[in-house]
Chain A
């Protein structure tokens, strides 16, 4: 699903150049649940931004579902993001003046899906994350865990090839974190490819594979026995 070859990325900070990613190679197959681990500064967020087409790579190649991701203009990048990717953020990033169901329907709106269909689909995904009865509520009326679940429903709504979660549990207490991870595992069970960036080992252990980044290189890439989050819930 995702193929990365010899990926380099550096940032210019004034006259200095900061080499963040130093030649990464890895593949992610369909249906995998991969954790990208690393301390801060290891380059994991940069990697996710590049994979998420939010940032551009300097060298190497990136292929997503057979499509080379290269030299995209903003309009094209937006279309690809909409079609291929679903994002889950640490701080949820729901749009605060839109209700839960409106937030979930946003990616569909950008796809040009008509109003009625949007509403139906959005409700379906809200139901999947167990928040159907909260559909008409604004984000400010929801708890942190509920917000993240709305965000997950939003990421799912566009039926993307890959879900990308950037510290999805970073702003949640451990109980809620496990609930969210339980949901992510269930979505993965349905066959979705999911990439989770985290620095918490217990969260990483709930994935099926852990890629360890340190100073811009992959130091470890191992398959693990998945710890089911449902046992803590």
Chain B
């Protein structure tokens, strides 16, 4: 198989008509190049979209309350209701496969009025009453100090973790802030830490302008009693939240006398479902990339096959002579197949290398010119390269198959007769 003479002969044959060989090789080169570029572009798009999700736990359901739309058990429709802290315990008890259930209350929102004051400075920020688990569902980096913990919850400490932009608004640049107090709706809270969120979805700035305080302290300080405004529920990794959300809804509907068929009362946002849909989109993009890439490659392969047929035709006499000298048909078939595979793989490798260089260039430009919307780090991994090489190997064999067969169909006598 790897005899020196055979390789020498392959090179001799392929270099005899260099221009033709190069043109043929270009077909395969171009096909694999397009395949690599398409896959990389798909990956870049995917990376861009995934970055928008940030590192939020994606198997998560957010739910809040809306107006009840059906009268039930003597209660009228169009009434408002609130989740209670008891709902959290009931959800834990009745639904299997949950990882975190974080109740939350909220103060202020986008474009709200100033609600936080420190000394002479003030600002409008979103204030959340949360449990410590929220940091695992909506991850953030603690830049200094610490995040709220269970003791804060138990003792209802009036402490606050503020975003880096909150600190920037309320403090001088080099001012100490840990251990100082800020007034949220006229209640003093001690700053115990700062955070920074890394996801860069559209409201990246807004994400740094939030204040986290213990859920229990929030309820007491702002008179929420046992009301819960909002819940973030994350399921275990192997249980899609989409599958168990109806069970969760049933629990709260029963607790709050809501008609089981009332679709509107429990407002929710299913991040998992959204994420799966986007993942499906990526699958489709990848499929299209392979489909188009392989088709372009196919035309290159047909080119190789075509040229190999011509080469066999041209070498009819030579093949006849070789058989007269006693070369076996298998040896001739192997020769043609190896020429075809060699040509395909060499030109394919060139395509891969060139494609990778272009991707490298694009990445360099992206790095230079800052982030582009929904397009980050286009790349192909080793798996894709392996698949491409396998495709090349197989297609080289396919391209050589017909010519090789026609080569051994040449009968020596006919070959020698064609003068």
Contact = CB atoms under 8 A, between A and B. Distances in A.
B108 interface: no
A79 B326 contact: yes
B8 to A, nearest CB: 9
B280 interface: no
Interface residues of B, number: 25
Nearest to A54: B413
Contacts of B23: none
Residue among B4, B325, B331, B408 with most chain A CB within 10 A: B325
Residue among B12, B16, B416, B419 with most chain A CB within 10 A: B416
B95 to A, nearest CB: 72
A111 B328 contact: no
B5 A115 contact: yes
A93 B4 contact: no
A95 B321 contact: yes
B90 interface: no
Contacts, number: 69
Categorize the interface residue count of chain A.
Answer: 20 to 34
Interface stretch (A34-42, A82-90, A176-184): A82-90
B413 A106 contact: no
> Interface residues of A: mostly helix, strand, loop or mixed?
helix
Given A89-B416, A97-B16, A109-B5, A74 B324 contact: no
B412 interface: yes
B13 A81 contact: no
Interface string A69-101: 000001100111111000101010101111000
B325 A87 contact: yes
A54 B412 contact: yes
Contacts of B416: 54, 89, 93
A78 B323 CA distance: 6
A75 B334 CA distance: 14
A113 B292 CA distance: 48
Given A82-B326, A89-B416, 20 more contacts: A54-B411, A54-B413, A75-B329, A75-B330, A78-B323, A78-B329, A79-B328, A81-B323, A81-B325, A83-B326, A89-B321, A91-B419, A96-B318, A97-B16, A106-B327, A110-B325, A110-B327, A115-B5, A158-B325, A158-B326
Interface of A: 49, 52, 54-55, 74-75, 78-83, 87, 89, 91, 93, 95-98, 106-107, 109-111, 115, 154, 158
Q: Which 10 A-B pairs have the closest CB atoms?
A: A82-B326, A54-B413, A93-B321, A78-B328, A81-B326, A74-B329, A110-B326, A54-B412, A107-B325, A97-B12
